Amino acid sequence: MSLAPALPATGLWPLLLASSIALAAYLTAALQREPKRFGAALAIGWIAQGAAIALHTAGLDQAEPGARFGFAPALSITLWLVVAVYGIESRFVPIVGVRRSLALLGAIVVMVAWMFPGELRPHAGSPWAPLHWVLGIASYGLFGVALLHAALMRRSEQRLRPKPGAGSAGAMATEPGLPLLKLEALTFRFVAAGFVVLSATLALGWWFSQPWRWDHKAVFSILAWGVFAALLGGRRAFGWRGRIATRWLYAGAGLLLLAYVGSRFVIEVLLGRTTA
């Protein structure tokens, strides 16, 4: 198993430079406590990672046009979308509970994307395949943002619970951030948006992939779709919230992660192949 991406000499150095800048910026952000310095470092990392994605995932580093498919490019784009939403929201309200974790995740996915470049596909099997892939990655990003808000919601709930011996003053000493009800509403908005995009992804895949293949990706995707449908239905019919809602969200996200990222990880890393 090779951990170095097979890139042409003409495309190696721009990609290496962008990836190195992104990695250094994310690690710098993870070490920052001052909000402005953290924001500046995270922004540099996000821009550099976007450049690396454009060069590498979109196949711009290759002489032959095409796009790269793999678990690492999918993770990189997903995290890049999550950081983008975080950056927009943090300009309007301080969101401090996930700063270090988000920066560290950014550094990790940049390294993983460099180590496991995925498979370059010069020609898609169908003219609708690129749209199917883009919608699938978009659904990953939307559910990733929903998980980000769920983590913030859980942190807010923990801050509201008084610690033993802390008294009422301990319960009132909370960090500034989005109100709990606002976080909950945003979480379900992103879940609903991700569910719509995932539904379109599955419908498009079923339409152009004839005959339909019941592989691991299809099975886990449909199971994840069912979990998210049950979550939204339970929210509407029974008012699900709090732990029960986040558990369903985590379960659906885990199944969706197994659908593409998990199956590609097994193929590329454990089996050492590029195609199923």
What DSSP string runs through 26-47?
HHHHHH--SHHHHHHHHHHHHH
Distance of CA 255 to the CA centre of its chain: 14
pLDDT in tens, the chain (276 residues): 334 444 444 457 888 899 999 999 999 999 998 988 999 999 999 999 999 998 877 666 566 666 677 899 899 999 999 999 999 988 877 776 788 999 999 999 999 998 888 877 765 556 666 777 889 999 999 999 999 999 888 887 777 765 555 544 443 334 455 678 888 999 999 999 999 999 999 998 887 776 667 888 889 999 999 999 999 999 999 999 888 999 999 999 999 999 989 888 888 887 776 655
What pLDDT is stored for residue 14 in this prediction?
84
What pLDDT is stored for residue 163 in this prediction?
58
For residue 194, how many other CB atoms are within 10 A of its CB?
Answer: 25
What pLDDT is stored for residue 272 in this prediction?
74
The tokens 């802390």 sit on which residue? 166
What pLDDT is stored for residue 42 in this prediction?
96
Q: What angle do CA 85, 259, 185 make, to 5 degrees?
A: 35
Query: Under 8 Å CB-to-CB from 102, ≥6 apart: which residues?
Result: 42, 82, 83, 86, 148
Query: Under 8 Å CB-to-CB from 20, ≥6 apart: which residues?
Result: none
What pLDDT is stored for residue 264 in this prediction?
86
What pLDDT is stored for residue 254 in this prediction?
96
What pLDDT is stored for residue 8 in this prediction?
44
For residue 271, how many other CB atoms are within 10 A of its CB?
Answer: 11
CA dihedral 37, 38, 41, 45 (to 10 degrees): -170
What pLDDT is stored for residue 182 in this prediction?
85
Helix count and strand count (H, E) for the chain: 10, 2
What pLDDT is stored for residue 153 in this prediction?
87
What pLDDT is stored for residue 269 in this prediction?
84
